[in-house]
Amino acid sequence: MNFTIRAARKDDCKDISRMIMELAIYEKMPDQVKISHKELERDGFSSNSFFECLVAEVPEEDKTKDGHTVVGYALYFYTYSTWKGRSVFMEDLYVMPEFRGKGIGKGLMSKVAKEGKGKQCARLQLTVLDWNTPSLDFYVAKGAHDLTANEGWHFLRFDEEAMANLAKDAP
């Protein structure tokens, strides 16, 4: 299948927002999505961007039945490891179901890796739900290591309320 991978533009945010919801539905957590395409525009396409994003686009003749040509995305940002230095964290990798198995996911992930290498990142990191074996198998087949299984690391999160409570104790 013919497709292109390119840097997302501000006008792609409605498509990205649509696919974020599709991913959340797949992950059985649609009620967790609280962000709008306007917030994506602000946070990804301003002078102080919090993330970068790539989109996969198919030609007009291969568009979806709903008329979409943007059929996948990878959203990522840069972090820092005190042990390894610069790192890239891929928050989401999503390809619409009817376009899976055509190299689009691998293309998006490879491009994120290339962008990270271009910024001298030592590693690419991501998280996968424990029940999502198709995705876990995909990443492992491409060379990822399961740190939970291999090293016992746990990924922790302070939600908004817990973070606010913690912030109250700041000097």
Alpha helix stretches (DSSP H) within 11-152: 13-26, 37-44, 104-118, 133-141, 147-151
> What residues act catalytically?
139
How far, in Å, are 57, 88, 154, 157 from residue 108 at the CA level? 11, 14, 26, 26
Instruction: Measure the CA–CA gap between 63 and 132, rounded to whole angstroms.
Output: 27
Instruction: Measure the CA–CA gap between 131 and 136, rounded to whole angstroms.
Output: 9
Tokens representing residue 119 in the block = 């910024």
Q: Of 84, 88, 105, nearest to 52 (Cα)?
A: 88
Phi, psi (deg, nearest 5) at residue 110: -65, -40
